[in-house]
Amino acid sequence: MSTQNEITYAQAIREAMCEEMDRDKNVFLMGEDITVYRGAFGVTQEMYKQYPDRVIDTPISEAAFIGCGIGAAVEGMRPVMEIMFSDFMSVCWDMILNQAPKMHFMFGGKVSVPIVIRTPSGGGTGAAAQHSQSLEAMLCHIPGLKVIVPSTPYDAKGLLKAAIRDNNPVMFLEQKLLYRTKGMVPERDYVLPIGVADIKKIGTDCTIVTYGRMVRTCLKAAETLAAEGISCEVIDLRTLLPMDKPAIIESVKKTKHLLIVHEAVKTGGLGGEIAASIAESEAFYYLDAPIRRLAAEDPPVPFSAVLEKGVLPDEDKIAAQVRELVQ
């Protein structure tokens, strides 16, 4: 049996990058303040000392350094880029929307773009409207991208290693409040498959589909509901694009109820795509109640801690939705 260590989500991400840099000299990191300052959330701490030529601070221009990373990827390197906050994707949107995901297709498969763009996302930190958004649904609308949102240190490490080895552009979203959470991670080298969901809790009465930080919140709600005799199955998507829709369909056929939970705003959120997938599948005929979505309210994320808490989903809101579904 391999040895396991309890480490934080941030440490797991750092381990994944270090191991891949040791394994492949073509892997390098670029981003704003990722050397001495160690990134906005400390993920790249001390890495510049270990890899002085491959951990590179950039000017404050996401368009410039993401464009540089795409060029390096086309030439055979495997860049791991860090955008300080996912909200700043808007600054380099052309690179993410029109360049990286389209080149392999437009050049008839003669060019690959093995780039990973890591970025912290989500709210709960009091960082206000321009630093707290969950924009994954925008990314999932772009053909050619892969989109990953891990919820645990184990998943974060295994999926980041898979992303770095993948020959396609990958958006790797790290929700901020997960960085200090802990979990068991093997010391051995391991890679998790992209596009495979994980059932974090088996249940019989209601399927809860979620991802990222909301996985922990849904599991807490499921514990509360279990004490009331309601058994919830919690599915962690882990990868949003491609999405493991068969896993959701099979679970819904079993439980006959579906609640979709995400931190992004409800309008245009990924929950609508998940609901449509069930409505278009055989699982629809197994439902005993309409599909429900629980998401953030539509206004921009407030700075006020009280208002921000009111906007985002929480354990009590999840439990209340499930109770109404199965009654």
Backbone angles phi, psi at 167, to 5 degrees: -90, 5
Determine the Cα–Cα distance for residues 43 and 12; give it in Å rounded to an integer.
9
Q: Which residues contact 95 (CB under 8 A, 6 or more apart)?
A: 63, 66, 67, 70
Tell me the residue ranges of DSSP E strands in the chain: 4-8, 27-31, 55-57, 78-82, 116-121, 146-148, 170-175, 182-186, 198-201, 206-210, 232-236, 239-241, 258-265, 292-296
Instruction: Give the list of residues 6+ apart from residue 99 with CB closer than 8 angstroms, or none.
Output: 67, 70
- Is residue 257 flagged as an active site residue? no
The pair phi, psi for residue 325, each rounded to 5°, is: -65, -45
- Contact in structure between 201 and 18 (CB atoms under 8 Å): no
Contact 159, 238 (CB under 8 A): yes
Catalytic residue among 104, 131, 257, 262: 131
Q: Are residues 247 and 282 in contact, defined by beta-carbon separation less than 8 angstroms?
A: no
Which parts of 181-291 fold into alpha helices (H)? 214-226, 245-255, 270-279
| CA 308 – CA 125 distance, rounded (Å) | 9
**Interacting residues of 239 by C-beta distance below 8 A, sequence separation 6+:** 146, 147, 148, 149, 159, 194, 195, 196, 197
Entry field: residues in the chain: 327
Nearest CA among 244, 321, 322, 254 for reference residue 282: 254
Q: Which residues are catalytic?
A: 131
